[in-house]
Amino acid sequence: MLPKKETLQTARLTLRSFCESDRENALTVLYNDEVKQTYMIPDFPTEDKAIALFHRLMDLSKDERHFVYAIDRGGKLIGWVNDCEMEGNTVELGYVIHPDYKGNGYMTEALTACIRELFRMGCEQILCGYFEENPASHRVMLKAGMRDLDKTDTIDYRGKPHLCRYCEIVK
């Protein structure tokens, strides 16, 4: 696959690498109780552990072998898109946006830009999964041009099983 672009620009967003100045906003997302219900992140026993995850995201966003972008709205990190799995010409993406920014189409805009970029890079298939109890994420996928797959997993997360459904888009 071709290398990813350093930044992706949409009408309202810039998708870019993480930088140290994003730390406070990223930690706000990582500690958000609503986010923790559907974006699989651990509880952090110390702030140092959350900061370590932020630094891992920052490193991955600068690594050509990974597809990770911070979502920037007006100079402020509001979420991110990250690869969950990359195998051959197939990529599974995950994404998260701070709840204060939900319902404005930002995630659809970011996901659509990422799909375009992955296809430009040579990716043939993009997958995304969502917990069944998160219909908003499903709508984001559909609005970004994805279609439902007949694929499900049961994932144990935070002590209870969640039915995970999948969508795909093929080049």
Which residue ranges of the chain lie beneath pLDDT 70?
none
Q: What is the pTM of this model?
A: 0.96
Per-residue model confidence as pLDDT tens digits over 134-163: 999 999 999 999 999 999 999 999 999 999
Domain locations in the chain as residue ranges = 8-124
Q: Cα 52 to chain center, whole Å?
A: 18
How much is the pLDDT for 78? Answer: 98
Give the pair of three-digit tokens for residue 58: 């920052």
Measured in Å, how far apart are the chain's first and last C-alpha atoms? 14
Looking at domain 8-124, its CATH class is alpha beta
